[in-house]
Structures are given as structure tokens and as C-alpha cells.
Structure 1
Amino acid sequence: MDRRGFVKSSAAVLCALPVLPATHFVPVKTNDEKAPLWLKALVQQNDLGVASLRSLQVKDTNSKDFGGLMDAFDILNPHSTAALIQWGACALFSSSSRFYKSAQLLDEINVAVLYLIRTQHEDGTIDLLSTNFHSTPDTGFLVKRLAMAYTLLDKSGTADVEKVLANLKTFLLRAGTALSTGGIHTPNHRWVVTAALTKLNERWPNPAYTARAEQWLAEKIDIDKDGQYNEKSTFIYSSLTDRLLITIANGLNKPELLDAVRKNLNMTMYYVHPNGEIVTDASGRQDKAVIGTLENYYYPYRYLALKDQNGEYAAMCEMIEKTAGLKIGGFLDYFLSDTSLWNELPATKLLPLNYIRTFPNSGLVRIRRNERDCTLIANNPVWFTFMKGNAVLQGMRFASSFFGKGQFQAEKIVQHGNVWELTQKLEGPYFQPYPKEQLPDDGDWDKMPRNVRPQSEIQLLETKVLVRETENGMEVEIATSGTERVPVALELIFRAGGTFTGISKIENTKDAWLLKSGAGSYSVQKDTITFGHGTGSHKNISLRGALPAMDAPTVYLTGFTPFRHVVRFS
């Protein structure tokens, strides 16, 4: 890769903070010839973040909160405070930073560490004030990165750094006690705790650390045949697990753990939208259906691209640099701590851009044709997405007014040749008088459960969705059978920011439109999605039992059962 060209392409976002969605790198003039230009760019970006964090620190020495930092809700908390220590350590260590060996920043880091010690519980844990208290895993999240900060501070050569190291060691060793005994909530928490123990053990060897790590590792890595971890959290926790397993593999000499990382990285190459965003529709965590790029994967891809001399991983790094840019600066401490990551990437190989790929364990089908792609999703009310460059249909939903339970979603996706089928079968019964011999004496309705009552006049509604690939896009056919005259509505949910043609606004709505007939289009910059044909038999778009409308421009197609309609996207 032409690293110089990569850096030079990015001068426009110098003023962006790391906490903002900066999208390119910037060149940095420095006398330090050891670090590559891209790393110096991240250091300069980190400086902006350090400056921002310093302004949020409590400076009143008489305050009980002295040294702490607030979050966006003005709540003092250990995580914001730890961020100053983490980012500040990177700055003190880096000769290309304007805070290099800064005595003032060192003092601010020291009082931040003292704040952490004051807020640390006697058992060694800290709180995640939004949800978890006396939390071992949240302690692990902090310890992993603060142990790296300790090493960077130690190697920085900053005058009087020993006082900070002594205080930080106090916090970390107290936390180590908690990590050696405490419990977890979620699958990834096991690897958070284990990685934190690994970093502590590298610095202060302790049999209790390795014994606890081995206990968690004995449960084996929760990765399926698709290459996905249990939580299926492609934006947040899958990449986190990759980074943690690399740490554990290195620190505990367990190279076999890298096989799970490779398996996940191989899968992730097929989870990339044409604009560099990652597919999140099947996530089981809070990142479900969020819009995100792949900056969180940059470190594992770069680490294994260099270790394995893997050209596809190198190409993924290139793609992430172009589409996520400075957002990889959130992992600056990783890059500063391991100089092998400064090496040039191997020659790139072509990434998969034309494919049909099924991930049965995640209930996902991915179809990509260069700048156009489609995702089918099982067990989800949004079961179809379509992207063409920057124009995005971020969801398709179908609902009926069928006994308040007509929101369509399919348990599985079944492939028949070049057709994918999603089905749903619903019943709407009525209930007969309660069996006389079981009637309660007091007439209490709650003592007469419906499952005991005989059913009658059972209404049935089956919905079948067939999806096919066409020469220029995708075709979706929806057909219902069973009860007649049920109102239905099909939602085409687009990402905000584009312009429509061929549709009409539904009165008294924020951003709802009707495609009565013919074709409509949605354009963003030079990219256009054409969709149709339309049908609009009614304007009832808030069907009883359907999910609320999304906060996005939505085009509706409406009708009544029996409903059969074909919509083509190109």
C-alpha cells in the first residue's frame, strides 16, 4: 500500500476530535523518524482528545470529586476518568505529541488515578453507573487498557512518573483481586476478565491470575461454524473478543486461540456493505441494526495480516483506513505498545465483492454484487435490506391487522435453488365458555386461563415471502392466504438524507409516503435505488399489532388479504 498517499489524502479532518466521526488521516511534521506517518497522525488526533478531556476534569482541590471526569450526562464516573489516563499515557509516551513528557498532564493523570482509587470499592471493583455495580467485568474493561497505560507511562521517561506508577499500581493490584474471584454477565465478559488478568500477570506475575484465567478458558471459545461468537454483535463485541483473544494468546502463550480470531475475521469479510459499513442486523446485543464502520476490527486485521502475511487481511486494513480513518485512533495504545504493527502491510489480495453467502447460525443471507448488496434476516421484523452505493433501504417490514399479532417475521430462511423463502403462520381463535367443572367460585377472570377454554372460529393467516436475485437487483414477492379482507401494509424504510420521486406524502405524518402505482426512486448523491411497482388500497399505516413506525423516511404499499404483490429493487 502507498502509505504516504494514504496519509496525504486526509488533511481535511485535522480539527476533528477522536470522539467524533473523523474519516481520514492527517500528516504530521516531526523529528521522530521511527513511527510511521499514519501512527503520527493518530497521535496528533489523540492530542485533540486529550485536550478535550482535560477541560472536563474537576480541578477544585476541595471537591470530593477532585481529579474525576464527567460523562455526557454530567455524572462523575471511573470510565471517563480512565480515558484521560489512557489517552494521556499515549501522549506522554509519543515524541510527536505536543504533550510529550508534559509535567502538567502527568499531574492531571495522577489526580485522575487517585480519583479512581477513591471510587474503587473495597473488593477492588468499580461501578458502571448506567447499569452495573461492584462490577468485575467493568473493572476488567478498565484494567486491560490501564495496564497498557502503565507500560506506556513507564517507558515514557517523563520526570517524576514514579509517583503516578505507584498510585496506578495500587489501583490495578486491588482490581486484580476482584478479577481473580468475581463473576460475569455475558459471554465476552469471560475474555475481558481473562485478558485483564493476562496483562496484570505480564507486569506482576501471580498464580491467582493465571489460575482464574485458565478457569474461564476451560469453557472454550464460543464461536460457531459460521465464524461468529455467541452474541453475534458484529459492531461491538465480536471485534472486542478478537482483540482480547490476541492479548490472551500472546500473554499466556496460547497461539491456538488465534484460530478463533481468524475464523471470525474470515466471516467478517462477508459482512461488509459496499460503503464500508458492517452488517449488524443479526446482533443479539445493543448494536443490533446500528450504522457502524469497521474501525474496531482494524487492530486484529492488522495484527494477523502481519503475523500471517495475509493479503486479504491487509486489504481489509486498507478498506477500513479509507472508510473509518481516524476512528481507529481509539486503539492508539495497541499500536504504540507493539512496534511490530508499525511494519508495512503485505501485498493486498482482492476482497470478496461478488458472492452469495449463507450464515445459518446467525439466520443471515448475504448477497453482494460490487456496489450493490442485500441482506436477508430471520427472526427479525426487518427481514430485508438493500444497498446501492450510498442509497440505502435499511429495512423492509410487513404487517397485517390480524388479531393484534400480525407483524411478520420468519423463524428461518429456506433456499430453493435461486429463491429464498420466509414464512409465517398465524392463528386467531375465539374462545368458548370455561368448562363448568373447573369454574372458580368467585368469578375471577384471571383464574380462567385461555388455554383451558375450547377454541372455535379459528382464523388462519399464512404469509410467504419469496426473494429472488434479478439481473439488476432483487425481487421480493409477498403472498398471503387464509382469512380475507385483512388490511396489510408493506414498509420500505430508507435511510434519511436522500430524495424521492414517484411517491405521494401521506397527510398528517412526519415522513410517511405512499407508492400507489408505478415505480419510485430514492437518490443519494450519484446513487439511486428504483423500486416498484406500487399499490395503495388504503392509508392505514398504523395497523393494530404492528410495530411503531421507524424514525426514517418510509414508503408504504398497502392492500387487503388475499394479498399478492411483487416489488423489484434495482
Structure 2
Amino acid sequence: MLNHFISTIPLFDAGIRRLLAAQCMDDASVNYGATVDFRKGFPEASCGIAAACITAFYTPESEFYKNPELLNRACLAMDYQLAKQHEDGTIDLVETNFHDSTSNAFNIQGLGPAYKILRRFTSHSPEEDALEERLYRFTKASGDAMVNCGFHTPNHRWVVSGALALCYSLLGDESYLHHIHRFLNEGIDCDENGEYTERSAGTYNIICNRSLILIAHELGMPELYDHVTRNLYLSMKYFEPDETICTMNSTRQDAGTDPSISAYYENFLYMAIETQNPEFAWMADYLQTKNLARFTLSPSSAAGSTAYFYRFLLEPEFVQKMLATPTKPPVPKYETLFVESGVYRYRDYDLSFTLIQNQPMFAKLQYKQHRVFFRFAGSFFGTLGQFQAQEILPIDNGYRLHYHARQGYRRPFMEKPDTWKWRDMDHSKRETVCVQDFDVNLDFSVHGNKLNVTVSTCGCERVPVKMELLFDAGGLYETPDTEFFTKPGDYVFWKRGTCQYRYSDGCAFVLNGGFYAHHYGATMRGSCGASPQCFTIVTTGFTPVEQVLSLSVE
């Protein structure tokens, strides 16, 4: 395995330079000592500045080693942070959460390792002692706040526990350890496939993994690595051919985004060393050589490296263990149905295919960086017609998405109700008549570079339906007698036969089997409506429908 410590130093130093340039040094400003978030126009916590400066100050390989200005900058950052800390010890995540002890936890996960570095290497100069006193005050108040206050989301339990593990290691307060075990007693919410509750492959998987790694190391609980191992293997099955992460089934803010797989770098690095897993080691090496230049992109990037630098500095044997870790490339070829998560994933090197339960965007076919998404809807009693698969079922040579809806009409009450107020009436006592069913089966099978889709409906007749295929705009749409360059929001009806969608690099999706019965598409009642960002190809019909489509990659 590569030496991730030494090769990252130049990138880390570049990040420090950007951080120092961004830190507000105007003593008349309300932001003095902090860094203004470019997107928000105000600072959040400044602990990351202190953590990065401390780490660089005590790293012999860094160009900032023993540079006294870093201690000054760290003190200024901590002064800003302490001034923002409430009497109960909590701090704010100004963009949304106030008196939020979980914000303390996120910050302690970065600051705690730097505090450990300072305590190990301090020469007890007046400047170092002054900084350590600030770190103690913030850490003690934060630890107490995390014990005495609460959390919002499932991942926060492990973020708080990871931070408290650092606080316990630093301060030895038994109440911290007791609080951690209260959370652990709830059980780790990581299923047998490695999926956490929030299914957040782009954000909170990484945070949960990092937190469990901290708890395992600081409290000597290596059994927690098993959960992280399962999640990393699952997460690798969410990696797309263009090295983004499939987030279609996330329940958090990363849903539908395309984050880089480099977000998992630190997870792979630590787990490779701790468990001697050769596939994780290969991933860490690959991401380091390909993606670590991100540390030079923003002032906050240097702070992000602090949490994994500390063990390289504090444990020389950790570096040797890293260098002795074998590597083995994972094979990007698999087919997996995650039943509990409601996700099917297929990967064959440059081609991937995804099915998602309980989402209107229920399928995605991707070849390299090019992708097409699928939606289906029928104009059935308002919102009841928007297809969201209730089941993913294995069938011969593929998988079926099934959806069922039922609706009817209500009759008058047989007896006078207790109230004239509509919302207070017990409508379950009404007779329901003219009940109609709407059943849709979408069958998918992948054969080499070709995806077959069978559309089958039954139940209520004459329901207008549509199948939408959503592409990234900017390509060339071609039929035997028409072609045009697409732009965002374009919406075309595919009547029959063959069409194709070609990109500037020569790659094309070839579509066969279109059908057409109406042009009630973009404005169909109860459906998601046309996408303003995508180019959409639509096929339409009236129930019952029995049709076969195919998409091939050329």
C-alpha cells in the first residue's frame, strides 16, 4: 500500500495556505478568526481552522512545522468559537439548527484528534498552553452538552458517540463513556447488507463509518469494524462507471445527486489499515492518486484531513502497518438485490443498471458518464397514477417492478352523521362503489449492452399512461427522418420504431419499440410533470397496455 501520509503532505500544505488566506484577520469584524462560507455569506464553526493549524504545526514533514503564526491563528479561531458557545455548552449550525449538541459532535471529531496531537507534542510554551486551555474549555463544555442534550437523526447517535469517545480519551469523564454505551445499547442500525437507516450513500454512510471507526479505536471495540466493512462493500456496489455514487434511494439531502466516490477515501484508508483488507487498500491507493488534489480546492479541505492525520503522527506503527497492507483491485461486475433497501444494482464494468422501490424515478441505465432515467404514470384518480414500485420481484432472466392502486366513489351516509363538518365526519361509514384497480408491471432484463423493458397493465381500462425516458440534455436526437440537438426541458413523443440519442463522444443509446396513443404527457394530472433539466422521450398508451421496449448502447 502507498504511503498516504508522506504523499499527502504537499496537498495538505496547499490547503493550509488557502485556509490562512481565507481566515478573517480584521479585528474590527464580527467574523474575526473565522472563515466565511462562500455559499452562505457567514461563518459556521471555526474549530476546523484550529485543528488544521495545530496538525500542521506539529507535523515535521510540513512546511508549516513549528511556525508560530499557526498557534496564533488557532487561538483566534478558538476565541471565535468559544464566543459563540452557549451557556449549556452547545453551538449552532447557523444554516438550520440552534443549541445543537450534534454540531459540537461534528466539530469535536475534527478538533479532538488535533487536541491529542497538541497534548502529545507540546513543549508547554506560553502560546501552546494558552491554546490548550482554550481547547480544554471547548472540549469539556461540548462533552457535557452532548451528554445533557439531544439529537435529530439516526446517524447523530454515532457522530455523538464518536465525539464522546475522543472526549473520554482526552478528559476521562465517565459520564461520556456511559452515554456512549446508552447509544450502543440501542444496536447499530446497519443491516446484514451494510445499509444504514438513512440509506445515504453520498453523505451519511461516510459519516456513520467514520464515527464507528473512531469509537472502535478510541474505546478498543474492534467488533464495530464489521459494520463498516459491510457498508463499504455495499457502497462499492453503488459506485457508477463515471466514479460518481448512485444516491437514488437516499432519504437525505444527497438523494438524486452525483457525489464523487472520493468521499469514501478516509473510510477506505482507515479500514484497509485496521482490517488489512486488500480491496479497501486498493481503493484508498486509487482515490489518493486520482482525487486527493481536492485538498487544494477550498480553505476547508485542509481541516478535512486532520481527522486521519493524527494517528500517523501519534502511532509510528500505524504507518508501518499501512505500508505492509496488501492491495487487490475489486472487480466492478456484480448483480445484487438489496431487499431491505429496495434496491437492485447491476454492474458490468462500464455499464450499470439500477432499480429503486418507492420512488417515481425508479430506474437508471448508465454507460460510462451517460445515463437515462425512467418514470411511468397513468392519469388514475389524481396522484394515485404516479408509478412507484411497491415491490422488486425476481423473474426469469430479470426483475419486475409492481405497482397497484385502487379507488372508487363514496355514497351518502345511511344515517345522519354526528356533525355537519366535513373534516370531522367518519367517512369510513360510507359505502364505496364503482371501485377500480390500476395494476402496472414493468419487467427489466439486461443482456450485454442491451436493456429490455416489458410494460404490462391491467385493471381499469382507458387510463392514459406514459413512459418517460429522461436524458442529460445537449445530445443529438435522431430518427429515420428527423434530428435535432436537444436542450433542457425538451419533451418529445416517440411514436414507433427506432430512434437514438447520440453524444459528442460518439456514444449513443438506441431505442426500439416505441408506442403512441396520445400526447397527454407533460401536463398529465397526478404525474411528476416534465423535467426542466432533462431531455425527455415519451411513449404513450391507454390501458390495457402490453408493449416491449429496448435500449442498447453503441
> Is residue 401–residue 443 contact of structure 2 (8 Å, CA) maintained in 1?
yes
Q: What is the distance in 2 between the residues matched to 1:530 and 1:216?
A: 52
Q: What is the distance in 1 between the residues matched to 2:439 and 2:294?
A: 46
Q: What is the distance in 1 between the residues matched to 2:166 and 2:351?
A: 43
> Is residue 47–residue 98 contact of structure 1 (8 Å, CA) maintained in 2?
no
* Paired residue type of 1:197: L
Q: Residues 327, 567 of structure 1: CA spacing in aligned structure 2 closer, same or farther, 3 A cutoff?
A: farther
Q: What is the distance in 2 between the residues matched to 1:205 and 1:241?
A: 24
Shift of 1:499: 4.0
* Paired residue type of 2:287: I
Shift of 1:533: 2.9
Q: What secondary structure sits across from 1:410 in the alignment?
A: coil
Q: What secondary structure sits across from 1:211 in the alignment?
A: helix
> Is residue 198–residue 248 contact of structure 1 (8 Å, CA) maintained in 2?
yes
Q: What secondary structure sits across from 2:404 in the alignment?
A: strand
Residue in 1 that maps onto 2:375: 397
Residue in 2 that maps onto 1:554: 536
Residue in 2 that maps onto 1:193: 160
Residue 226 (1) aligns with residue 193 (2):
yes
Q: What is the distance in 2 between the residues matched to 1:234 and 1:241?
A: 11
Residue in 2 that maps onto 1:144: 109
* Paired residue type of 2:72: D
Shift of 1:362: 0.6
Shift of 1:500: 3.5
Q: What is the distance in 2 between the residues matched to 1:173 and 1:432?
A: 65
Residue 61 (1) aligns with residue 27 (2):
yes
Shift of 1:506: 12
Segments of 5+ residues of structure 1 without an aligned counterpart are: 4-33
Q: Residues 92, 535 of structure 1: CA spacing in aligned structure 2 closer, same or farther, 3 A cutoff?
A: farther
Shift of 1:63: 4.4
* Paired residue type of 2:76: V
Residue in 1 that maps onto 2:307: 334
Q: What secondary structure sits across from 1:464 in the alignment?
A: strand
Sequence identity of aligned pairs in percent? 29
Q: Residues 66, 317 of structure 1: CA spacing in aligned structure 2 closer, same or farther, 3 A cutoff?
A: closer
Q: What is the distance in 1 between the residues matched to 2:323 and 2:489?
A: 51
* Paired residue type of 1:142: N
TM-score under structure 2 length normalisation: 0.88
Q: Residues 48, 565 of structure 1: CA spacing in aligned structure 2 closer, same or farther, 3 A cutoff?
A: farther
Alignment of 1:34-49 (within 5 A): 36-49=5-18
Shift of 1:52: 4.9
Single out whichever of 96-105 and 451-460 deviates more from structure 2: 96-105
Shift of 1:538: 3.0
Residue in 2 that maps onto 1:529: 509
Q: What is the distance in 2 between the residues matched to 1:135 and 1:111?
A: 22
Q: What is the distance in 2 between the residues matched to 1:103 and 1:193?
A: 32
Residue in 2 that maps onto 1:487: 464
The count of corresponding residues between Structure 1 and Structure 2 is 532
Shift of 1:410: 1.2
Shift of 1:117: 0.8
Residue in 1 that maps onto 2:519: 539
Which residue of 89, 106, 121 corresponds with 2:54? 89
Which residue of 304, 308, 317 corresponds with 2:284? 317
Q: What is the distance in 2 between the residues matched to 1:74 and 1:547?
A: 30
Residue in 2 that maps onto 1:367: 346
* Paired residue type of 1:334: A
Residue in 1 that maps onto 2:136: 169
> Is residue 434–residue 452 contact of structure 1 (8 Å, CA) maintained in 2?
yes
> Is residue 491–residue 557 contact of structure 1 (8 Å, CA) maintained in 2?
yes
Shift of 1:457: 2.0
Q: What is the distance in 2 between the residues matched to 1:237 and 1:134?
A: 21
Q: What is the distance in 1 between the residues matched to 2:548 and 2:123?
A: 68
Q: Residues 505, 236 of structure 1: CA spacing in aligned structure 2 closer, same or farther, 3 A cutoff?
A: same
Higher relative contact order (CA 8 A, sep 6+): 2
* Paired residue type of 1:445: W
Alignment of 1:391-470 (within 5 A): 391-393=370-372, 395-405=373-383, 406-438=385-417, 440=419, 443-470=420-447
Q: Residues 507, 228 of structure 1: CA spacing in aligned structure 2 closer, same or farther, 3 A cutoff?
A: closer
* Paired residue type of 1:461: F
Q: Residues 157, 543 of structure 1: CA spacing in aligned structure 2 closer, same or farther, 3 A cutoff?
A: farther
Q: What is the distance in 2 between the residues matched to 1:157 and 1:557?
A: 73
> Is residue 473–residue 488 contact of structure 2 (8 Å, CA) maintained in 1?
no
Alignment of 1:10-25 (within 5 A): none
Residue in 1 that maps onto 2:298: none
Q: Residues 524, 209 of structure 1: CA spacing in aligned structure 2 closer, same or farther, 3 A cutoff?
A: farther
Q: What secondary structure sits across from 2:183 in the alignment?
A: helix
Segments of 5+ residues of structure 2 without an aligned counterpart are: 296-300, 313-317
The one-character-per-residue Cα deviations of 1:226-246 (angstroms, maximum 9, x if unpaired) are 111111111111111111111
Shift of 1:94: 3.9
Q: What secondary structure sits across from 2:489 in the alignment?
A: coil
> Is residue 494–residue 515 contact of structure 2 (8 Å, CA) maintained in 1?
yes
TM-score under structure 1 length normalisation: 0.86
Q: What is the distance in 2 between the residues matched to 1:171 and 1:299?
A: 26
* Paired residue type of 1:245: L
Q: Residues 537, 302 of structure 1: CA spacing in aligned structure 2 closer, same or farther, 3 A cutoff?
A: same
Q: Residues 183, 361 of structure 1: CA spacing in aligned structure 2 closer, same or farther, 3 A cutoff?
A: same
The one-character-per-residue Cα deviations of 1:341-383 (angstroms, maximum 9, x if unpaired) are 5733634324132221111111111111111110111111111
Q: What is the distance in 2 between the residues matched to 1:409 and 1:373?
A: 21
> Is residue 378–residue 409 contact of structure 1 (8 Å, CA) maintained in 2?
yes
Shift of 1:428: 3.0
